[in-house]
């Protein structure tokens, strides 16, 4: 009897899913997070879920863990004191950054520049130099370097970063320095840039390495703590951590390279959404994960889109991540009307969990998106189960402030807030679709997170992205994603040359070497050969362009046909993305192999088809305000809906952790897997 | 407009609900950033792609900017356009004299795409970007020795590069045949066009979604909204008594200088007046800045908004509130065919002068002066394989001390510009960067310190030619309200054999050999408010960071640090009291030594001879007088100077 758990530790809740690998049966629990020690909530969840399932904790063989520990360390600025070693002449690399100030003209007047992860006082230069081709220009002065590192160590740094100019081309000096540091301080965590990000552009590489060093002690501590507590309970599970690119990594890798997990949370959501959508027969989806303070959106075509850079707060961190775009628009976003322009703005300020929206009755008075939903009737005052009721009068009082400032009727003001927040999310969805050359009308919209199902239909109507898919338990999708994730790691090499300079055998050799590295990683993870996949790609661009487009490839294809067809695919992709092609030479920048170890998938529960009649789930009615008029909407209990049931909008479908709105002229159909599929009426 | 065939959509007089308006505003803002994104991903020249020397815009049917950065120029341009405008057309140009200074040197390629919906012109998408080379005698097309625009490369009059969607091959071939790296210009042009086409698509989608009438009414309302916001800003922040401010461009690259820029500001009710009378006559060298009136209004608006209320979406709506006087024949309104290539210094100094003039009414809000230009380093030649190489790099410097905090060290005064990574430079050019750092003590002392200037050390690996464009080597960036001036810029060439040579801040055709090293230093920013009141712990931190020396902490800030950099609080308090006593009241502005003294000591302090006082150019004065006469009869202040 083998069990696996997927666990997602979020800011507010810790979600867990337990799977019986033999029967495919699973259980879910949701418990409040414990930010002072996140492992506490994880263990509580284990206790509860095992009780619920009647399973002995010791039978949990594997734990797949999505965590925001690294994310929060960065967002809250509570990381380690980081020492940094640079090439002589580049001590200020993080201080000067890319020298950028915000737009428009004179934007520098209001710029606030946050402190980089390593202070200038904790930065030391060493005497050495590589060329961009990897030749030694100046030998490393080891005696001088040793003194410099010793002085850093003695000053009390908690984590060390080594990042030298052109180390992407030859990391020899970084490795020597690491050995010196390890000799001087065997327990000090040491991060070298060529290991974390062996790609050119020194600021981004140094920053990414320094970020890694910054989050490392806290993540190490958390993981060690978790391991120890599991051991105490005699749970012998193998723990894997979800990376930002929705792949799994081992505990050891996570301890050394925690920066790979900075978007672990959102990537679990995307992986979960995709898992559900694939099963429902929709490989192409836009995901909309709307929480309390922000909304994450992404685009998947059978698999998640992977980006090479992500921005966390102010800092661009270059690690492979699910291409999630985040906007400061959530249920708790506060609406306001600036004095000067009298324009209606929503967010990015948020009421957070405390005091929360006015309607939560926890002392909040500012009008939030949730309050607007209450005023318009989209959120019924009594949520299912009666665990929590909403204060409609408080919501009205808060939204009235907006109405007064704008000279609008209360209900128009509330609807205005919803329209603005929808527009903000629409902007984000457009960024990941239209702006990348994809037509949203060819995608389904998967709406989840606490507030996603409230807004999903309205967004689909703006974009023409149908159906809207609302999975069962929309607030628990991340844990499902964790549970169904695959092992994944990337192996890349910078290899800059125009295609006419490429030696076919050399390139094939590099691809195969990287592929072997990927396979070795998977084997080390005890993934059997028949469950190992390696995907190869080249990053291509027109000579002298600055940004690359990844084009997938097979080593044999390169060996047999050269890269002519590849170049053709590049031209076509460039044309799709930007609307033109050039005659200019095409250049290879990076060669990449991605190792994927497939873990068994999760079987979703299916229900027997029933008729279209949903009246068994009908619990009442509710007045809703839309486009300036009141309509009567049917209220439904989701738990009572059966596959095949059809609900005509306007309707509101409630369940334990979420509320779904079906707009007028739309219908919601329950599919075999208990998803709600919302489509416009013919 | 004398446009034929086209029906220009009228802005309908309909009420638009404020929520729809906010939605359209957001959509247009997003589109403007999408234009940038398309450009960065596809352009080839590092100047556009890495450094972001480019400016997008979307206008209403009349050509008034609704979102963007540099304000409307289309109205003026269309005044003389005598061809049709049709769907699929793309117009481009690069001659500043043919667009009233909408672009101000021939390196900037301006692209315009008319946007049609239901057979009516509903707006324009436009963008201009800096082309790394547009021909002419020197690589980079910015010769410091040019005395007319004919010495600065190819001048493109307004021309359709696409006519109804069809590429005009002849024009493209002529253009590319005149430049040193045709592939790069081709790619950059295509990238700019792709970017404008993106905006075109988005505006059409908005018309589709909301209806044309609503979209157009929204444009009108957005312009209105800015008008009203600006009205308040003017009344709150502009003086009724005229206030003036003066500052200088150090030299024109031909040994003449410094050139004075003078601006006087006042308001009458909610109408604001900006008068450049008193600015020096135009220069012989290429530092003239052919200032477009609309663009200057935009600068004013942007500046007021950033200083006083950054939330406002700025656009052209407030133009009728501003009245500008640009005297003909001056540095900021030169007579054709004055050379314009290196106008960046005056363009930047304009903001220093504007800030200085505005500060007299609202000193708490305004900032000191910064590094004050856009310092360039150009390096070109033929490598050992006989291939042409050419690098143009923009560097940055000290940001002024500001009300919100210290000026950033070695950051860009220009919006969104970024530096070129060392590893990129070394991968693509025969060059090595030996160091890239900010210069200790170069930021002016202040309660909020001015940012430090940049020191970048280049080693050249192939024989070639180097050009330098910088300023603020003679007059330092001033401090404000007790803040001290920033350190001046300098350039030192260290030959492979060890000999050293000070280079002027503006020069070209400097021959370099492998192993020669250039130490390129830009100016620091001026300080904001009294340095003796700066938190001693912040001074101590700056010393620990190596950004300020222990000596400067003592002398400029009155902060006493022990050898281990521990703070001696008592000695600091005593020293600060003593220094405050000796100094007396702080002055509103600190320009450093008087100009006469700077000139007298130039050779000694900088290693460069003092420039000689500029003499007015006779023909320019005559033509200016003629133009002044002509324009005063028809009331325009920004007339065309061709002819």
Task: Measure the CA–CA gap between A503 and A496, rounded to whole angstroms.
Answer: 12
B354 touches chain A (CB under 8 A): no
User: Across the interface, which of B30, B312, B410 has its CB nearest the CB of A340?
Assistant: B312
CA A246 to mean position of chain CA atoms: 8
Query: What is the residue-wise DSSP string for A626-668?
Result: ETTEEEEEEEEEGGG--TT-EEESSEEEEETTEEEEE-TTEEE
Contact: B229, A340; criterion CB under 8 Å: yes
Collect all residues of chain B within an 8 Å Cβ-Cβ radius of residue A98.
418-419
The count of other CB atoms within 10 Å of the CB of residue A155 is: 12
Q: Which residues, other chains included, contact A389 with Cβ-Cβ below 8 Å and sequence gap of 6+?
A: A381, A382, A383
Q: Quick one: average pLDDT of B125-144?
A: 95
* Both tokens assigned to A659: 């509320």
- Give the DSSP letter string of A386-446: GS-B--HHHHHHHHHHHHHHHT--HHHHHHHHHHHHHHHHHHHHHHHTGGGT--GGGSEEE
Residue B489: how many CA atoms within 13 Å on its side-chain side?
32
C-alpha B120/C-alpha B6 separation (Å) is 7
Q: Is A600 exposed, middle or buried (0-12, 13-18, 19+ CB in 10 A)?
A: exposed
Q: Is A210 exposed, middle or buried (0-12, 13-18, 19+ CB in 10 A)?
A: buried
Whole-number pLDDT of residue B636: 46
Distance CA A192, CA A210 (A): 9
Nearest Cα of chain B lies from the Cα of A255 at a distance, in angstroms, of 29
CB contact under 8 A, B34 and A435: yes
Is the torsion defined by CA of B151, B152, B156, B158 positive or negative? negative
Chain B partners within 8 Å of A416 (Cβ): 18-19, 22
**Residue B1 — pLDDT band, cuts 50, 70, 90?**
very low
CA distance A475 to A331: 13
Structure tokens belonging to residue A338: 């600036």
Q: How far from A415 is each of B27, B250, B454, B498, CA to CA, in Å?
A: 18, 58, 51, 73
Q: Is B212 on the interface with A (CB under 8 A)?
A: no
Q: Which residues of B touch A580 (CB under 8 A)?
A: 42, 190, 193-194
Which candidate, B452, B475, B62, B18, places its Cα nearest to that of B246?
B475
| pLDDT, chain B, mean | 92
Nearest residue on chain B to A423, alpha-carbon basis: B23
Mean pLDDT by 10 residues, chain A (682 residues): 87 85 85 85 95 94 90 85 98 96 85 93 98 96 98 97 96 98 97 91 96 96 93 92 91 92 91 92 96 88 86 83 87 86 82 82 91 96 68 96 93 95 90 79 93 96 95 88 87 87 92 94 88 93 83 90 88 84 87 87 83 94 94 95 96 90 97 96 86
Q: Considering CB atoms only, which of A106, A165, A545 is closest to B422? A: A165
Contacts of A344 in chain B (CB under 8 A): 18-19, 22
The alpha-carbon gap from B280 to the nearest alpha carbon of chain A, in Å, equals 25
Round to whole Å and give the CA distance between B598 and B573. Answer: 33
Range B440-449 average pLDDT: 98
Task: Please say if the pLDDT value at position B642 is more than 50.
Answer: no
Length of chain B, in residues:
643
pLDDT at B414 over 60: yes
Candidates A671, A682, A681, A680; CA nearest to A282 is A671
* Domain boundaries along the sequence of chain A: 3-74+220-261, 78-211, 283-466, 486-597, 615-680
Kindly indicate the confidence band of residue B640, based on its pLDDT and cuts at 50, 70 and 90: very low
What's the pLDDT score for residue B150? 97
* Answer CATH for A78-211 from 3.40.50, 3.30.70, 1.10.1760, 1.10.1790: 3.40.50
Its sign, for the CA torsion B311, B313, B315, B320, is negative
Report the alpha-carbon distance of residue A84 to residue A117 in Å, rounded: 9
Q: How far apart are the first and last CA of chain B?
A: 21
Does B88 contact chain A (CB < 8 Å)?
Answer: no
A362 part of contact set with chain B, CB < 8 Å:
no
Using the beta-carbon criterion (under 8 Å), do A166 and B302 form an inter-chain contact? no
CB nearest B184 (choices: A166, A544, A579): A544
- Report, as an integer, the average pLDDT of B89-110: 93
| Same-fold call for A3-74+220-261 versus A283-466 | yes
Mean pLDDT for B563-568 is 96
End-to-end CA distance of chain A: 49
Q: Can you read off the two tokens belonging to residue B569?
A: 């609080």
In contact, B211 and B118? CB cutoff 8 Å: no
Interface of A with B in 543-582 (CB under 8 A): 543-547, 574, 577-580, 582
In chain A, what residues touch B306 (CB-CB under 8 Å)? 104-107, 109-110
Fold that domain A486-597 belongs to in CATH: Dna Ligase; domain 1 (3.30.1490)
Nearest beta carbon to residue A544 from set B21, B44, B457: B44
CB contact under 8 A, A545 and B421: no
Residue-level pLDDT at B639: 39
b/e sequence B375-394, b meaning 16+ C-beta within 10 Å: bbbbbbbeeeeeeebbbbbb
Mutate one of A91, A93, A102, A108 to test the B interface: name it (highest B CB count within 10 A).
Answer: A108
> Can you give the pLDDT at residue B638?
44
Can you read off the two tokens belonging to residue B603? 């050779």
Residue B311 has what pLDDT?
63
Please check whether residue A667 is in contact with residue A681, taking contact to mean a CB–CB distance below 8 angstroms. yes
Q: Are B502 and B421 in contact (CB under 8 A)?
A: no
Nearest by CB to residue A90, choosing from B186, B314, B435, is: B435
Rounded distance, CA B514 to CA A150, Å?
37
Chain B contacts of A102, Cβ < 8 Å?
415-416
Helical H segments across A197-318, by residue range: 202-232, 251-256, 264-280
A675, HSE (Cβ side, Cα atoms, 13 Å): 27
Cα distances (Å, whole numbers) of residue B466 to B25, B143, B378: 45, 11, 5
Q: Which residues of chain A are within 8 Å of residue B415 when distances are taken between CB atoms? A: 101-108
CB contact B424 to A (< 8 Å):
yes
Cβ–Cβ below 8 Å for A419 and B438: no
Mean pLDDT in residue range B598-611: 97
- DSSP letter at B472? -
At residue A331, the 3 state secondary structure works out as coil
Closest CA relative to residue B134, chosen from B71, B91, B196, B92: B92
Mutation target for B interface from A87, A89, A95, A109: give the one with most B CBs within 10 A.
A109
- Nearest-CA residue of chain B relative to A430? B30
Q: Which of B404, B415, B546 sits opposite A101 (nearest CB)?
A: B415
- Contact of B413 with chain A, judged by CB distance below 8 Å, is answered with yes
Residue B458 above 90 pLDDT?
A: yes
- Name the minimum distance, in Å, from the CA of A565 to any CA of chain B: 21
Query: What is residue B637's predicted lDDT score, i.e. its pLDDT?
Result: 44
Distance CA B256, CA B483 (A): 30
* Minimal-distance CA residue of chain A relative to B404: A110
**Which of helix, strand or coil describes residue A479?**
helix
For residue B419, list chain A residues with Cβ-Cβ distance below 8 A. 96, 98-99
From the number of C-beta atoms within 10 Å of its C-beta (0-12, 13-18, 19+), residue A3 rates as: buried
Provide the CATH number for the domain formed by A3-74+220-261 in this structure: 3.30.420.40
Judge: A546–B50 Cβ closer than 8 Å, yes or no.
yes
Q: How many whole angstroms separate alpha carbon B86 and alpha carbon B502?
A: 55
- Is B408 in contact with A101 (Cβ distance < 8 A)? yes
Q: Is B385 on the interface with A (CB under 8 A)?
A: no
The domain made up of A283-466 has a fold known as Nucleotidyltransferase; domain 5 (3.30.420)
A346's tokens: 């929503």
| A343 with B225: Cβ contact below 8 A | yes
């Amino acid at each position: 009897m083998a069990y696996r758990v997927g666990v997602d530790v979020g800011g507010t809740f810790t979600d867990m899913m337990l799977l019986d690998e033999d029967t495919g049966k699973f259980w879910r629990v949701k418990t409040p997070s414990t930010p002072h020690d996140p492992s506490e909530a994880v263990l509580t969840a284990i206790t509860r879920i095992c009780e619920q399932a009647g399973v002995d904790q010791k039978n949990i063989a594997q734990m797949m863990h999505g965590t925001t520990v690294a994310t929060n360390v960065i967002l809250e600025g509570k990381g380690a004191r980081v020492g940094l070693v640079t090439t002589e002449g580049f001590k200020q690399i993080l201080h000067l950054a890319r020298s950028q100030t915000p737009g428009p003209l004179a934007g520098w007047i209001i710029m606030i520049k946050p402190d980089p992860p390593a202070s200038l006082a904790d930065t030391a230069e060493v005497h050495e130099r590589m060329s961009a081709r990897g030749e030694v220009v100046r030998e490393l002065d080891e005696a001088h370097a040793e003194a410099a590192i010793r002085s850093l160590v003695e000053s009390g740094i908690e984590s060390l970063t080594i990042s030298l100019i052109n180390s992407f081309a030859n990391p020899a000096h970084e490795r020597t320095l690491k050995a010196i540091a390890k000799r001087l301080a065997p327990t000090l965590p040491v991060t070298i840039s060529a290991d974390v990000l062996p790609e050119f552009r020194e600021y981004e590489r140094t920053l990414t390495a320094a970020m890694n060093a910054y989050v490392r002690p806290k993540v190490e501590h958390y993981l060690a703590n978790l391991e120890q507590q599991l051991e105490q309970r005699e749970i012998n599970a193998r723990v894997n951590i979800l990376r930002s690119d929705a792949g799994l990594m081992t505990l050891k890798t996570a301890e050394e390279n925690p920066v790979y997990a900075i978007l672990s949370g959102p990537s679990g959501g995307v992986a979960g959404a995709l898992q559900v959508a694939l099963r429902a027969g929709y490989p192409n989806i836009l995901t909309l994960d709307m929480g309390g303070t922000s909304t994450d959106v992404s685009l998947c075509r059978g698999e998640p889109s992977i980006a090479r850079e992500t921005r966390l707060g102010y800092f661009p961190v270059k690690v492979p991540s699910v291409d999630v775009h985040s906007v400061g628009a959530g249920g708790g976003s506060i609406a306001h009307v600036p004095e000067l322009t009298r324009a209606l703005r929503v967010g990015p300020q948020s009421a957070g969990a405390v005091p929360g929206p006015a309607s939560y009755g926890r002392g909040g008075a500012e009008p939030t998106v949730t309050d607007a939903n209450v005023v318009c009737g989209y959120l019924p005052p009594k949520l299912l189960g009666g665990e929590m009721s909403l204060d409609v009068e408080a919501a009205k009082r808060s939204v009235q402030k907006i109405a007064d400032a704008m000279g609008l009727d209360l209900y128009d003001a509330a609807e205005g807030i919803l329209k603005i927040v929808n527009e903000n999310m629409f902007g984000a969805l457009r960024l990941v679709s239209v702006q990348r050359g994809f037509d949203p009308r060819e995608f389904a919209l998967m709406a989840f997170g606490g507030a996603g199902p409230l807004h999903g239909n309205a967004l689909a109507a703006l974009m023409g992205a149908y159906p809207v898919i609302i999975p069962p338990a929309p607030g628990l999708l991340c844990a499902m994603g964790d549970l169904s994730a695959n092992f994944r790691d990337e192996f890349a090499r910078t290899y800059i040359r125009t295609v006419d300079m490429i030696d076919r055998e050399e390139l094939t050799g590099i691809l195969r070497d990287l592929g072997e590295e990927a396979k070795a990683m998977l084997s080390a993870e005890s993934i059997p050969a028949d469950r190992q996949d390696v995907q190869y790609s080249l990053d291509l661009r027109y000579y002298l362009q600055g940004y690359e487009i990844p084009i997938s490839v097979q080593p044999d294809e390169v060996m047999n046909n050269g890269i002519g067809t590849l170049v053709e695919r590049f031209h076509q992709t460039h044309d799709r993305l930007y609307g033109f092609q050039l005659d200019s030479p095409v250049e290879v920048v990076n060669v990449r192999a991605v190792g994927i170890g497939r873990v068994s998938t999760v079987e979703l529960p299916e229900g027997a088809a029933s008729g279209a009649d949903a009246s068994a789930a009908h619990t009442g009615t509710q007045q809703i305000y839309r486009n300036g008029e009141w309509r009567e909407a049917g209220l439904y209990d989701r738990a009572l809906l059966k596959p095949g049931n059809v609900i005509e909008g306007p309707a509101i479908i409630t369940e334990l952790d979420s509320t779904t709105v079906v707009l007028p002229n739309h219908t919601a159909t329950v599919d075999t897997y208990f998803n709600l599929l919302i489509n416009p009426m013919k | 407009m004398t446009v034929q065939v086209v029906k220009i959509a009228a802005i309908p007089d309909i009420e638009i609900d404020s929520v729809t308006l906010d939605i359209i505003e957001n959509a247009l803002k997003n589109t403007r950033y999408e234009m940038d994104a398309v450009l960065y991903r596809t352009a080839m020249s590092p100047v556009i792609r890495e450094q972001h020397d480019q400016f997008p815009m979307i206008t209403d049917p009349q050509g008034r900017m609704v979102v963007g950065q540099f304000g409307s120029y289309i109205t003026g341009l269309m005044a003389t356009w005598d061809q049709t405008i049709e769907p699929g057309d793309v117009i481009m140009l690069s001659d500043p004299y043919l667009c009233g200074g909408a672009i101000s040197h021939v390196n900037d390629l301006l692209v315009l795409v008319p946007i049609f919906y239901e057979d009516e012109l509903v707006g324009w998408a436009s963008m201009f970007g800096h082309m790394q080379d547009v021909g002419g005698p020197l690589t980079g097309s910015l010769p410091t020795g040019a005395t007319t625009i004919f010495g600065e490369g190819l001048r493109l009059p307004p021309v359709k590069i696409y006519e109804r969607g069809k590429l005009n091959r002849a024009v493209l071939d002529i253009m590319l045949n005149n430049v040193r790296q045709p592939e790069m210009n081709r790619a950059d042009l295509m990238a700019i066009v792709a970017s404008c086409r993106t905006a075109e698509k988005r505006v059409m989608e908005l018309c589709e979604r909301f209806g044309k009438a609503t979209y157009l009414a929204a444009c009108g309302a957005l312009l209105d909204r800015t008008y009203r916001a600006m009205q308040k800003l003017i009344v709150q922040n502009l003086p009724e008594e005229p206030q003036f401010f003066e500052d200088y461009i150090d030299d024109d690259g031909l040994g003449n200088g410094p050139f004075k820029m003078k601006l006087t500001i006042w308001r009458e009710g909610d109408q604001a007046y900006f008068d450049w009378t008193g600015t020096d006559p135009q220069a012989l060298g290429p530092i003239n800045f052919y200032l477009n009136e609309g663009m200057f209004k935009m600068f004013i608006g942007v500046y007021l908004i950033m200083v006083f209320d950054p939330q406002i979406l700025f656009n052209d709506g407030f133009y009728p509130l501003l009245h500008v006087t640009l005297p003909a024949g001056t540095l900021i309104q030169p007579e054709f065919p004055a050379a314009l290539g290196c106008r960046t210094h005056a363009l930047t100094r304009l903001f220093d002068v504007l800030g200085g003039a505005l500060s007299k009414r609202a000193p708490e809000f305004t900032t000191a002066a910064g590094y004050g230009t856009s310092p360039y380093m150009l390096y070109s030649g033929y490598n050992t394989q006989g291939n042409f190489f050419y690098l143009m790099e923009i560097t940055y410097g000290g940001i002024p001390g500001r009300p919100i905090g210290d000026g950033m060290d070695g950051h860009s005064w220009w919006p969104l510009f970024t530096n070129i990574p060392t590893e990129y430079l070394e991968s693509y050019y025969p060059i090595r960067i030996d160091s890239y750092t900010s210069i200790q003590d170069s930021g002016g002392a202040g309660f909020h310190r001015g940012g430090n200037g940049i020191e970048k050390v280049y080693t050249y690996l192939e024989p070639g030619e180097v050009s330098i464009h910088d300023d603020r080597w003679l007059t330092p960036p001033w401090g404000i309200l007790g803040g001290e001036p920033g350190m001046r810029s300098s350039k030192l060439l260290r030959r492979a054999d060890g000999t050293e040579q000070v280079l002027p801040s503006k020069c070209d055709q400097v021959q370099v050999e492998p192993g020669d090293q250039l130490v390129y230093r830009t100016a620091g920013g001026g300080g904001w408010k009294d340095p003796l009141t700066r938190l001693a712990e912040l001074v101590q931190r700056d010393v620990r960071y190596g950004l300020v020396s222990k000596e400067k902490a003592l002398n400029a800030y009155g902060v006493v640090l022990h050898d281990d950099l521990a703070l001696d609080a008592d000695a600091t308090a005593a020293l600060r009291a003593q220094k405050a006593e000796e100094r007396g009241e702080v002055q509103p502005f600190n320009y450093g030594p008087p100009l006469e003294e700077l000139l007298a000591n130039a050779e000694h302090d900088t290693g460069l001879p003092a420039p000689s006082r500029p003499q007015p150019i006779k023909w320019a004065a005559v033509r200016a007088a003629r133009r002044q006469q002509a324009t005063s009869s028809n009331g325009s202040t920004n007339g065309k100077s061709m002819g």
